[in-house]
């Protein structure tokens, strides 16, 4: 997994290498400084020449400046490397998601993808930064310091032999205990935040039922619960500091004691050495502390890394074939023995035994209750999903043989859950055709009966659409979505319940326009309203994943019970206008 993630460094590799080089430089200099300082102190003590002192002092200053430069540059390159790494990671993630098929998309909820692209990437970035800054530096500091300490202090360094393993063991134990505790807490914490979000969203229900006090109690209980767990986990980690201090203190007392003994009894050790040893002791302990921090960081971000990898590893379930057909001949559609289910594991087929032949230029209506798989049927035409059995042909060629972009450009589909994006109306319409002229745009809008209301806005086609398209009404949104699809000049146009919020008169005008202006285009219209489909060349009645009846309006009134039932309910029941969005 690390290897795969590391690949995202790419052009920032040079910064990683520079960081490592400068950090090694910094570490080397930093360990040398106490050594030289010890000499300086001993020089001073020995009453050395002023020039000697100045020389050593000058050397030290140069070393500090060098270390400053190394550290500063490393800090800069490290920031560049880690930010670049996360940029590439986000880029790869986003690009990967763009290759997803509908089936892949269904697997991840959109909110989880957002979290992966933001929070998870920042977690990994933080770890990455920690790793390149300290993963090399700390062991280096550790090793250098130990070597220097043995070199200088001899016996005194024995203190480290005892203290390092104790500290290392202690830190690992604390980490081991704390990690599962934290992981459990974070999960609970996520759930707590989800429940807050649920409450915020359902505020009208809460207030409507006067459940404020009940919600407070409920929240209070889970907040206290988390507090308990969180405190426990934090308190384990909080043991790090006393442990570290204990080791440091033991170290200091030992060095002071042994140091003074050796200083007085032998000539090997001097006051300067003692001071340097104390410094090395600090450096060693700090390095260990950093290592334990890295350990914690890495473990914590492993979850994030896993979630990111899940997105990167997901195989797009649909790719254009080699030697793909790059032209769609006409708008004829054939379903040959098609069965379909959404996933391999699903027990129930969403569609079963569909045989259907639609000639180019026909208008086909589809009627059926919720869950009758109307949408599933039409989604197979632009190959949003692949059939499980049988074949779907467009223009006489199996859809799986086409280049996907070519196929989808020829088959325009207005989805049931249609969306406009933030931007102007013009920008939104240009999704259909990037270089569409004003005339083309207006023409499409006129056909979709959208031109009038767009022109009534003060800014006309430059009116800004807000995120989610909240500033146009449902019916207006639907008409704009139809216009957007028309701009593609498709051979097949599919409207999946796309005029539900449009009034019947306008609906009829749109259909009339289709008939006279785009007669060659095959039109498939899914609707709840019988009036939307009654003049179609062919009407399919669907129930439970099957086409139960097909024919013209008059025929179906006679032959199909469901059709007649719906028709009667809508005419007698007065459901002439079902504008539910």
- Of 389 and 453, which has the nearer Cβ to other proteins? 453
CB of 488 to other proteins, least distance (A): 8
Q: Does 169 bind other proteins (CB under 8 A)?
A: no
HSE of 94, CA atoms in CB hemisphere, 13 A = 10
Q: Does 79 bind other proteins (CB under 8 A)?
A: yes
Alpha-carbon gap, residue 31 to 214, rounded angstroms: 61
Q: How far is CA 224 from CA 180, 191, 211, in A?
A: 19, 14, 20
For helices 271-313 and 158-201, what crossing angle results, to 10°?
40
Q: Does 92 bind other proteins (CB under 8 A)?
A: no
Q: Does 7 bind other proteins (CB under 8 A)?
A: no
Q: Does 260 bind other proteins (CB under 8 A)?
A: yes
Binders of other proteins among 449-488, rule CB under 8 A?
A: 467-468, 473-476, 484, 488
Cα torsion 144, 147, 150, 151: sign = negative
Binders of other proteins among 539-578, rule CB under 8 A?
A: 565-566, 569-570, 573-578
CB of 352 to other proteins, least distance (A): 21
Alpha-carbon gap, residue 422 to 467, rounded angstroms: 5
Q: Does 203 bind other proteins (CB under 8 A)?
A: yes
CB atoms within 10 A of CB 337: 12
Alpha-carbon gap, residue 311 to 56, rounded angstroms: 57
- Of 201 and 357, which has the nearer Cβ to other proteins? 201
Site string (102-121) toward other proteins, x via CB under 8 A: x--x---xxxxxxx-xxx--
Q: For residues 60 and 1, is the Cβ–Cβ distance under 8 A?
A: no
- Of 473 and 559, which has the nearer Cβ to other proteins? 473
Binders of other proteins among 371-430, rule CB under 8 A?
A: 371, 382, 384, 404-405, 408-409, 412-413, 415, 417-419, 421-422
CB of 322 to other proteins, least distance (A): 19
Alpha-carbon gap, residue 365 to 353, rounded angstroms: 19
CB of 373 to other proteins, least distance (A): 14
Of 331, 245, 343, nearest in space to 537 by CA: 331
> Among residues 2, 6, 61, 561, which is the contact residue for other proteins, using CB under 8 A?
61
CB of 131 to other proteins, least distance (A): 14
Site string (499-528) toward other proteins, x via CB under 8 A: --xxxxxx---------------------x
- 500 contact partners, CB below 8 Å, separation of at least 6: 478, 527, 528, 529, 578, 579, 580, 581
CB of 225 to other proteins, least distance (A): 9
- Of 3 and 456, which has the nearer Cβ to other proteins? 456
> Among residues 4, 147, 173, 198, which is the contact residue for other proteins, using CB under 8 A?
198
DSSP codes joined into one string, 274-327:
HHHHHHHHHHHHHHHHHHHHHHHHHHHHHHHHHHHHHHHHPPPS--PPTT-B--
CB of 78 to other proteins, least distance (A): 6
Question: Which letter does DSSP use for residue 325 in this model?
Answer: B
CB of 337 to other proteins, least distance (A): 26
Which letter, b or e, does each residue of 184-202 get, where b requires 16 or more Cβ atoms within 10 Å of its Cβ? Answer: ebeeeeeeeeeeeeebeee
> Among residues 41, 296, 399, 454, which is the contact residue for other proteins, using CB under 8 A?
41
Alpha-carbon gap, residue 59 to 555, rounded angstroms: 102
Question: Which letter does DSSP use for residue 207 in this model?
Answer: H
> Among residues 11, 210, 347, 458, which is the contact residue for other proteins, using CB under 8 A?
210
Q: For residues 156 and 341, is the Cβ–Cβ distance under 8 A?
A: no
Of 342, 375, 377, nearest in space to 356 by CA: 377
Tokens of 7: 């690949």
- Of 219 and 389, which has the nearer Cβ to other proteins? 219
- Of 98 and 456, which has the nearer Cβ to other proteins? 98
> Among residues 204, 345, 348, 558, which is the contact residue for other proteins, using CB under 8 A?
204
> Among residues 9, 18, 20, 71, which is the contact residue for other proteins, using CB under 8 A?
71
What is the end-to-end Cα distance of the chain in Å, rounded? 45
CB-count burial class (<10 Å; 0-12, 13-18, 19+) for 378: buried
Among 171-179, 245-253, 437-445, 512-520, which window interacts with other proteins (CB under 8 A)?
A: 245-253
Site string (119-138) toward other proteins, x via CB under 8 A: x--x--x---x---x-----
């Amino acid at each position: 997994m690390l290897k795969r993630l590391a690949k995202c460094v790419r052009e920032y590799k040079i910064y990683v290498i520079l960081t490592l080089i400068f950090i090694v430089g910094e570490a080397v200099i930093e360990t040398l400084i106490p050594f030289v300082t010890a000499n300086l102190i001993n020089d001073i003590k020995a009453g050395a020449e002023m020039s000697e002192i100045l020389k050593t002092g000058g050397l030290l200053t140069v070393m500090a400046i060098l270390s400053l430069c190394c550290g500063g540059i490393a800090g800069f390159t490290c920031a560049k490397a880690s930010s670049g790494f996360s940029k590439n990671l986000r880029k790869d993630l986003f690009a990967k998601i763009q290759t997803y098929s509908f089936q892949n998309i269904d697997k991840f909820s959109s909110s989880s993808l957002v979290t992966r692209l933001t929070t998870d990437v920042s977690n990994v970035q933080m770890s990455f930064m920690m790793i390149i800054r300290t993963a090399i530096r700390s062991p280096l500091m550790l090793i250098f310091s130990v070597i220097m300490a043995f070199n200088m202090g001899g016996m005194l360094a024995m203190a480290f032999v005892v203290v390092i393993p104790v500290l290392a063991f202690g830190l690992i134990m604390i980490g081991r205990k704390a990690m599962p505790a934290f992981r459990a807490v974070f999960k609970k914490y996520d759930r707590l935040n989800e429940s807050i979000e649920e409450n915020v969203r359902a505020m009208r229900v809460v207030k409507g039922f006067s459940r404020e006090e009940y919600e407070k109690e409920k929240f209070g209980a889970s907040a206290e619960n988390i507090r308990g767990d969180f405190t426990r986990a934090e308190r384990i980690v909080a043991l790090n500091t006393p442990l570290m201090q204990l080791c440091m203190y033991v170290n200091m007392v030992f060095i002071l004691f042994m140091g003074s003994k050796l200083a007085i009894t032998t000539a090997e050790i001097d006051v300067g050495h003692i001071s340097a040893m104390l410094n090395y002791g600090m450096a060693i302990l700090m390095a260990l502390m950093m290592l334990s921090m890295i350990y914690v960081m890495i473990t914590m971000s492993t979850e994030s890394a896993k979630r990111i990898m899940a997105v990167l590893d997901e195989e797009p379930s649909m790719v254009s074939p080699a030697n793909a057909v790059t032209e769609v001949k006409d708008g004829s559609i054939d379903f040959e023995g098609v069965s379909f289910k959404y996933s391999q594991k699903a027990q129930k087929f969403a569609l079963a035994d569909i045989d259907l032949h639609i000639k180019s230029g026909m208008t086909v209506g589809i009627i059926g209750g919720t869950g009758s798989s109307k949408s599933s049927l039409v989604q197979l035409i632009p190959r949003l999903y692949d059939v499980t059995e049988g074949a779907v042909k467009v223009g006489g060629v199996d859809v799986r043989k086409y280049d996907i972009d070519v196929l989808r450009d020829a088959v325009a589909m207005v989805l049931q859950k249609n969306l406009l994006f933030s931007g102007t109306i013009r920008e939104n319409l240009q999704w259909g055709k990037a270089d569409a002229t004003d005339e083309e745009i207006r023409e499409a809008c006129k056909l979709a009966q959208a031109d009038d209301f767009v022109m009534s806005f003060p800014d006309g086609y430059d009116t800004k659409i807000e995120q989610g398209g909240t500033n146009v009404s449902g019916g207006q949104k639907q008409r704009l979505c139809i216009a957007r699809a028309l701009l593609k000049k498709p051979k097949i146009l599919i409207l999946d319940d796309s005029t539900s919020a449009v009034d019947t008169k306008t609906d009829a005008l749109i259909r009339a326009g289709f008939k006279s202006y785009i007669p060659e285009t095959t039109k498939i219209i899914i609707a709840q309203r019988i009036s939307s489909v009654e003049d179609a060349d062919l009407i399919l009645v669907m129930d439970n994943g099957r086409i139960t009846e097909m024919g013209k309006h008059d025929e179906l009134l006679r032959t199909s019970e469901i059709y007649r039932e719906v028709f009667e309910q809508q005419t007698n029941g007065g459901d002439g206008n079902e504008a539910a969005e």
